[in-house]
Amino acid sequence: METATQQVERALARLAQHDPGLNAFSVVLAERARAEAAALDALPEAERGPLHGVPMAIKEELDVAGCVTTFGGEANTTPAAADAEVVRRLRAAGAVVVGKTTMPEFGAFPYTESASRGLTRNPWDRTRSPGGSSGGTAAAVAAGVVPVAMGGDGGGSIRIPAAFCGLFGLKPQRGRVTTAPHEHLWWALGTVGPLSRTVLDSARVYDVIRGSLPVDRWHAGPTGSFADAAGLDPGRLRIGWSARPVAKGVRPDPLHVQVLHETARALAHLGHDVREVDPRYPDPTAAFVPQFFAGIRTEAQAVEHYERLERRTRETYRLGSWVTPRVVEAAIRAGEQVERKANRVFDDVDVLMTPATAHRPPRVGVLDGRGTVAASLRSLPAIAYAALWNVAGNPAASVPCGVAEDGLPTAVQLVGRPDAETTLVSLAAQLERVRPFPVLA
């Protein structure tokens, strides 16, 4: 079994080798990571945690003690005094933080591009985007720098980069993972979670970080062990599939529809009851848009130097001035109605399967020179299947399906009933066993 020091040294070597061409890391904590690994190796085996020595990276929106929480920009300058609760739990389980990962400012758009950090690139094809907003996290894992890293998802920001980079990315049930020290992440939309090369790696991390605190506004229902679920047969499930996007005016890439059909056939071959369904999607706009603006404004109001925010971020802040506290609460109530309507599909199926995104990974620089409105329109294909489930709060996962002729990964999205993460984990692990996930050398 490798020591913590060996694992960390390998991660740092791969980081030095790959990151100059990827721009996945905003901060590298090499000496601190080495010291933490040495301290872990000095512990008696009985005191070692379930993630002993595992090198991990943390998205810029999460506090890491001693590092400035930049949210992808330059508007903060004071280092965080303490770890976010999720990071504290990871360290307590034995994980070693080797650095922080790039993101677009405040995670506003699903491509990891910023005036501060520049363009983050996809390890499968460096002319392409890794997606976002957890794009640095995805690039770090896909390149094999770390086996698992932390992201966040307020409109697809775990699932989109997972799909673009050939990773497993589960957005958990709203309230499953604490956002402490903050009451929420983008109000009812956001949650925190890992991206990984395997289902089991994500499951093990979730078993360490899951659980809310009194400070959290939302709290998920009970669930079993995610790691146990990864080793269990899911049983015969009713799986409904649909290629229809939630977003109006968006058409899925034909390749993604083909992959959806192929995965439906694979699931049927595994013994599941698989059929096409009409999800009767409700329109989430009245719930999503105000919370999007409120999320940006809440984070912008908390930074130390507002004037250092990117021009597009300041434009987004101004455009959201109509989102008063009363409007936010109305949007949350509208989201509860969306949740009830969206979950009607589970009257007839156990799992809903869709494309993960409508489009293939675009070339880097997709948002160059574009303001808030144009950037939002360019983002619609990325969030077309994902954002609804942030509004509804359901667990949803991007599951790799191989590599296409263009040399880039493919994926499908699996959506479960409220609090049904373990069902998705079991099903994704079953798919992984019969169709191993793609891995870069």
- Give yes or no for residue 355 having a pLDDT over 90: yes
Could you tell me if 125 and 84 are in contact, meaning their C-beta atoms sit under 8 angstroms apart?
A: no
- Residue-wise pLDDT for 110-158, tens only, equals 999 999 899 999 999 999 999 999 999 999 999 999 999 999 999 999 9
Task: Calculate the dihedral angle through the C-alpha atoms of 273, 276, 280, 286, rounding to the nearest 10 degrees.
Answer: 100
> What is the per-residue pLDDT for 1?
80
Confidence grade of residue 45 (pLDDT, cut at 50, 70, 90): very high
Average pLDDT (63-91) is 98
Of 48, 60, 19, 15, the closest CA to residue 33 belongs to 15
149 residue type, one letter = A
What mean pLDDT value characterizes the chain? 97
For a pLDDT cut of 70, what percent of the chain falls above it? 100
Annotated catalytic residues are 59, 133, 157
**pLDDT grade, residue 248 (50/70/90)?**
confident
Q: Tell me, which fold does domain 4-434 have in CATH?
A: Amidase signature (AS) enzymes (3.90.1300)
Residue found by looking up tokens 């289902």 in the block:
199
Q: What mean pLDDT do residues 40-58 have?
A: 97
Q: What is the pLDDT of residues 161-205, one digit of tens each?
A: 999 999 999 999 999 999 999 999 999 999 999 999 999 999 999
pLDDT of 441 higher than 80? no
Whole-angstrom Cα distance, residue 405 to residue 149?
A: 28
Q: What pLDDT is attached to residue 129?
A: 98
Confirm whether pTM is higher than 0.95. Answer: yes
Dihedral sign from CA coordinates of 225, 226, 227, 229: positive
- pLDDT tens per residue across span 388-423: 999 999 999 999 999 999 999 999 999 999 999 999
